Amino acid sequence: MELQITQIALAQASESYRVQVLELLARAHETDGVEAFSEQFVLGLTDAALNHQHYLAMTQHQILGLAAVAPGLEPTAELVVHPHFRSQHIASQLAATIAPIPLWAHGDLPAAQALAKARGGTALRKLLVMQLKGASLSTVASAIPELPAGFAVVDLPCALDKWGREVVLAELLKVNNEAFDWHPEQGNWSLERLERGLNLPWFDPAGLLFLVDTRAAGVFRLAGFHWTKWQPPVGEVYVVGLADAYRGQGLGRAIVNIGLHYLFKKQPEYIELYVEADNTAAVEVYKRLGFVVSQTHVLYSNPR
């Protein structure tokens, strides 16, 4: 089999390429039980503004594998090979082509572990997927959250109506970047990056919930926020952020609970979240709430 690796930006390529790639991702998901590409990498297939680069492993007529690279201060990549063409060194050729950019292994499947080991890769990050379901879901998320005195919950539409879009988005951006100044993907957001998030296909303005300090009369003072994601039948704790000025006041639990209760009212099969494995404080909080680890995603180094 004669294999050719071609660099391309799929968002600017012909529709036929994207159709083949989506079919490739679907077949891999059916076989592996886990999505090969994360949400941002799927968006990068069609959104030219994300500036993702793609490397297609092809025969003359068929795409057999794909590596995608997301730019940034710390670029990362994701890789997929069609299930019918595995064990033919396609993954290793793609990995070598994009080296030394680290590779995500969603689900940390044995094949991904083997590829990393063969290339001398080491685990740089571990991202846990945690789920709340069954009795724990009913017990924890059904409870109406208790708020400390001087605080109220408003959703995005209410906040925009009361304080205006410019003020609300500026405060949300400030709190997000304070809360995630350490995070390579969620931190250092620009207004443009925030607007992209607000325009995702699944975004529900009523599911972006703000914990507001009402003691600051007439001013939008954001203590924290819970950005939920609802894709039936699954709810997600998408982003939870707490402003620096409100740390150490026991508000984190309240912010988590307002989002869980909002999602519970939609009758989800389960609620999930993603958390860095080395964020032990957050992991313990979620475990105490009843969340259990369902998957692990690993970012492996990709030596030349």
Taking only the tens place, the pLDDT of each residue in 113-165 is 999 999 999 999 999 999 999 999 999 999 999 999 999 999 999 999 999 99
Among 128, 157, 186, the domain-final residue is 128
Taking only the tens place, the pLDDT of each residue in 47-59 is 999 999 999 999 9
Q: Assess whether 114 and 138 both reside in one domain.
A: no
Q: Assess whether 122 and 34 both reside in one domain.
A: yes
Among 99, 128, 157, the domain-final residue is 128
Identify whether 276 is part of a domain.
no
Q: Assess whether 175 and 209 both reside in one domain.
A: yes
Closest C-alpha to 157, from 200, 209, 192, 201? 209
Q: Please give the pLDDT value at position 75.
A: 96
How confident is the model over 276-288, as a mean pLDDT? 94
Taking only the tens place, the pLDDT of each residue in 230-247 is 999 999 999 999 999 999
Dihedral of alpha carbons 82, 88, 91, 97, sign: negative
Residue 258 belongs to a domain with what CATH number?
3.40.630.30
Q: Assess whether 187 and 256 both reside in one domain.
A: yes
Domain containing 208 equals 134-268
Q: Assess whether 258 and 153 both reside in one domain.
A: yes
The separation between CA 234 and the C-alpha centre of its own chain, rounded to angstroms, equals: 14
pLDDT at 168 over 80: yes
45 band by pLDDT with thresholds 50, 70 and 90: very high
Q: Please give the pLDDT value at position 61.
A: 79
CA distance 50 to 71: 8
Q: Please give the pLDDT value at position 275.
A: 97
Other CB atoms within a 10 A radius of the CB of residue 295 amount to 16
What strand order describes the sheet that includes 4-8? Answer: 4-8, 53-58, 63-70, 76-81, 103-105, 292-300, 123-132, 270-276, 234-242, 222-231, 208-213, 151-155
Q: What is the DSSP string of 73-137?
A: SS-EEEEEE-GGG-SSSHHHHHHHHHTTS-EEETT--HHHHHHHHHTT--EEEEEEEEEE-HHHH
Structure-block tokens of residue 286: 């979620």
Q: Please give the pLDDT value at position 72.
A: 86
What integer best gives the mean pLDDT of the chain? Answer: 96
| Domains contained in the chain, number | 2
Question: First CA to last CA across the chain, in angstroms?
Answer: 25
What pTM was estimated for this model as a whole?
0.94
Q: Assess whether 169 and 253 both reside in one domain.
A: yes
Identify whether 61 is part of a domain.
yes
Identify whether 293 is part of a domain.
no
Q: Are 187 and 180 in contact (CB under 8 A)?
A: yes
Taking only the tens place, the pLDDT of each residue in 253-268 is 999 999 999 999 999 9
Taking only the tens place, the pLDDT of each residue in 210-227 is 999 999 888 999 999 999
